[in-house]
């Protein structure tokens, strides 16, 4: 069933936008991205340790192939987080959401490179995925580089407007691009981990733990003063709690489940929806006006998203049909014809 995985991916993207907006507001109050990542993943580790304990999860033997991939998953995720939240600190949540639409292209290329996706240009499904991905990225570029006239003015008047200098905006964009390249690699590594051990909660626990073990020493080296670890503003506390309890942990678990169920490209293709959510929420909560370019980009992104989803559904249907045609002769005892068992 395609509805549940799709809704789960959209919920994750909404969660990411909320985290970005909360972090941007907290960073203006002095919260560093070093502390933010460390606190959030320590909290996430505690949450998933409790979940594993109450579910009586049986861990697999810790052999080298699994350990090496879990470590690589943690390193890649942490480096991506560092670049992403420094980019938000320099730029804005809207910029981060727009740049995140490079993820489908990066992930598709990496998945093809690692032979996780087949590129058969003669198949309509493959062409649809390629065209849909390019369309989604084009919509994100429209939102980034074309503002146009203001369609809806914000009613909020912030004492400290969320504006960045041109140099910071460019640096933030570069960091976001690096971050989402790393995230794309993270999806591919995660798919390999799920083949070895298909247990979402346990994998998410190991991932949160590995990032926490990386983030704490780095934070202590960069900010050795204990005073810098204090969360002195309520928005900082809210940002950390939301990211640790509902953000990173929730998204990691759902992404792990989605990668195992549908593959890395299916998970990555929902990144365009974050731009739509970011544009609306930024206009509502951060005082940013909604421009014509954002609305045009939203239409283009949504169109690309539906094209890719059609391609994925077409690919699945073709594969099911091929499996059905490979059965020659009447059904054996206990079997029913394919058309009676096929479900959309």
Per residue, what are the HEC states of 205-244? HHHHHHHHHHHHHHHHHHCCCHHHHCCCCHHHHHHHHHHH
The yes-or-no verdict on residue 25 having pLDDT over 80 is yes
Check pLDDT > 60 for residue 165: no
CB atoms within 10 A of CB 123: 15
pLDDT for position 332: 43
For residue 74, what pLDDT is reported? Answer: 94
pLDDT of residue 30: 86
Is-contact 161 167, C-beta < 8 A? no
Q: Which of the two residues, 324 and 188, has the higher pLDDT score?
A: 188
Buried b (16+ CB within 10 A) or exposed e, 231-270: beeebbeebbbbbbeebbbbbbbbbbbbbbebbbbbbbbb
* H-assigned helices in 91-225: 93-99, 103-113, 124-145, 166-196, 200-222
Burial (CB < 10 A; 0-12, 13-18, 19+), residue 84, is buried
The confidence score (pLDDT) of residue 237 equals 93
Close Cβ partners of 311 (under 8 Å, ≥ 6 residues apart): 124, 125, 126, 127, 128, 129, 132
Task: Return mean pLDDT, the chain.
Answer: 78
Please give the residue that has the higher pLDDT: either 333 or 206: 206
What's the CA gap between 285 and 246, in Å, rounded? 20
Does the pLDDT value for residue 210 go beyond 90?
A: yes
Checking if the pLDDT of 32 tops 80, the result is yes
pLDDT of res. 229: 84
- Say if residues 207 and 70 touch (Cβ distance below 8 Å): yes
Q: What is the DSSP string of 278-320?
A: HHHHHHHHS-PPEEHHHHHHHHHHHHHHHHHHHHHHHHHHHHH
Q: What is the mean pLDDT of residues 54-80?
A: 85
When pLDDT is averaged across residues 72-95 and rounded to a whole number, the result is: 90
Least confident window among 39-43, 87-91, 154-158, 166-170: 154-158
213-259: per-residue pLDDT in tens?
A: 999 999 999 988 877 788 888 999 999 999 988 776 777 778 778 87
Of 18-27, 120-129, 238-247, 313-322, minimum mean pLDDT range: 313-322
Q: Quick check: 333 pLDDT over 50?
A: no
Please state the domain extents for the chain.
Answer: 3-121+161-274+282-290
């Amino acid at each position: 069933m395609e509805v549940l995985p799709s809704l789960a991916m959209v919920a994750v993207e909404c969660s990411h936008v909320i985290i970005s907006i909360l972090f941007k507001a907290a960073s203006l109050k002095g919260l560093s991205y070093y502390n933010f990542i460390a606190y959030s993943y320590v909290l996430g580790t505690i949450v998933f340790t409790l979940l594993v304990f109450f579910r009586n999860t049986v861990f697999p033997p810790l052999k080298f192939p699994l350990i090496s991939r879990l470590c690589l998953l943690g390193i890649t995720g942490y480096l991506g987080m560092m670049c992403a939240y420094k980019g938000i600190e320099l730029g804005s949540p809207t910029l981060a959401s727009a740049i995140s639409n490079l993820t489908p292209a990066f992930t598709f290329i990496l998945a093809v490179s690692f032979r996780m996706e087949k590129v058969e240009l003669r198949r309509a499904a493959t062409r649809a995925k390629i065209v849909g991905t390019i369309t989604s990225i084009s919509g994100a570029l429209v939102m980034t580089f074309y503002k146009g006239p203001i369609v809806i003015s914000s009613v909020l008047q912030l004492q400290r407007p969320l504006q960045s200098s041109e140099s910071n905006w460019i640096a933030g964009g570069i960091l976001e691009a690096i971050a989402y390249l790393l995230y794309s690699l993270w999806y591919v590594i995660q798919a390999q981990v799920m083949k070895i051990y298909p247990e979402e909660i346990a994998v998410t626990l190991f991932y949160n733990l590995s990032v926490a073990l990386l983030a704490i020493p780095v934070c202590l080296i960069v900010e050795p003063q204990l005073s810098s670890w204090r969360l002195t503003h309520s928005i900082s506390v809210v940002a950390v709690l939301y990211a640790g309890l509902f953000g990173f942990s929730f998204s990691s678990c759902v992404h792990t489940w989605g990668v195992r169920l549908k593959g890395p490209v299916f998970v990555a293709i929902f990144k365009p929806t974050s731009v739509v959510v970011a544009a609306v929420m930024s206009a509502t909560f951060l005082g940013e006006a909604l421009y014509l370019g954002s609305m045009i980009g939203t239409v283009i992104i949504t169109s690309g998203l539906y094209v890719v989803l059609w391609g994925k559904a077409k690919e699945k249907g073709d594969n099911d049909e091929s499996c059905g045609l490979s059965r020659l002769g009447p059904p054996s005892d206990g079997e029913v014809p394919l058309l009676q068992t096929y479900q959309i």
